Amino acid sequence: MLSDKIESLLNLQIRREAESAQIYLAMACWAEVKGLEGVAQFMYKQSDEERMHMLKLIKFINERGGHAKISELKAPNITFKSFQEMFKELYDHEVFVTNSINELVHETLQQKDYTTHNFLQWYVAEQIEEEAMARTILDKINIIGDDKSGLYLFDRDIQQLSVTSSASNSLE
């Protein structure tokens, strides 16, 4: 059984995961109309992944005797000065989500809710990967600078981007 406080924090995390999905979706739309098809496809995929993170939380709350709640969402930014600015915003958002997950994990330990703590370890590992991916992308963007041919190659290659973080179970 979930405490009221843990249930409330988990519901807040549902909202944050839903907003993450919306942020990625807005970025996909922006990239697509700018002709960055690879970036758009990458963002659509990430949006779907964030929605799955949200659904996983919903199922967990309901299975543990709580009531998952779907709330209003803050509208995401829909325009960007550049694709560099967009990816910097993405990275900053992933850091925000990581901090949110960490606060939730801390509260589960304070309340000795080891079941929820164990469940959240997947999110902790996932955020390590999300931040590593965003940081890798920013590094590549900084290498490209204002080079249009570099942007073309980046747009083509981002669809295959995968980052293996130290939290990953396999060393492929």
Is 127 assigned a ligand-binding role in the annotation? yes
Question: Among all chains, which residue has been given the structure tokens 């659904």?
Answer: 55
Helix (H), strand (E) at residue 73: none
- pLDDT (0 to 100) of residue 167: 53
pLDDT tens for residues 17-69? 999 999 999 999 999 999 999 999 999 999 999 999 999 999 999 999 999 99
- pLDDT (0 to 100) of residue 147: 83
- 111 domain-assigned: yes
Domain that holds residue 139: 4-160
Residue type, 31: A
Q: Which two tokens stand for residue 118?
A: 């164990």
Q: Tell me how many domains the chain contains.
A: 1
Is 53 assigned a ligand-binding role in the annotation? yes
Is 19 assigned a ligand-binding role in the annotation? no
The full DSSP string for 24-56 is HHHHHHHHHHTT-HHHHHHHHHHHHHHHHHHHH
Q: How confident is the model at residue 146 (pLDDT cuts 50, 70, 90)?
A: confident
Q: What is the pTM of this model?
A: 0.89
- 172 domain-assigned: no
Is 93 assigned a ligand-binding role in the annotation? no
Taking the C-alpha atoms of residue 47 and residue 13, their distance in angstroms, rounded to an integer, is: 16
Look up the CATH number of the domain holding residue 37: 1.20.1260.10
Q: What burial class does residue 168 get, using C-beta atoms within 10 Å of its C-beta: 0-12 exposed, 13-18 middle, 19+ buried?
A: middle
- Average pLDDT of the residues in 70-78: 95
Is 72 assigned a ligand-binding role in the annotation? no
Q: Are the C-beta atoms of 136 and 163 separated by less than 8 Å? A: yes
For 123, list phi and psi in degrees, rounded to 5: -70, -35
- pLDDT (0 to 100) of residue 165: 45
Taking the C-alpha atoms of residue 60 and residue 36, their distance in angstroms, rounded to an integer, is: 37
Taking the C-alpha atoms of residue 19 and residue 129, their distance in angstroms, rounded to an integer, is: 19
- pLDDT (0 to 100) of residue 148: 82
- 171 domain-assigned: no
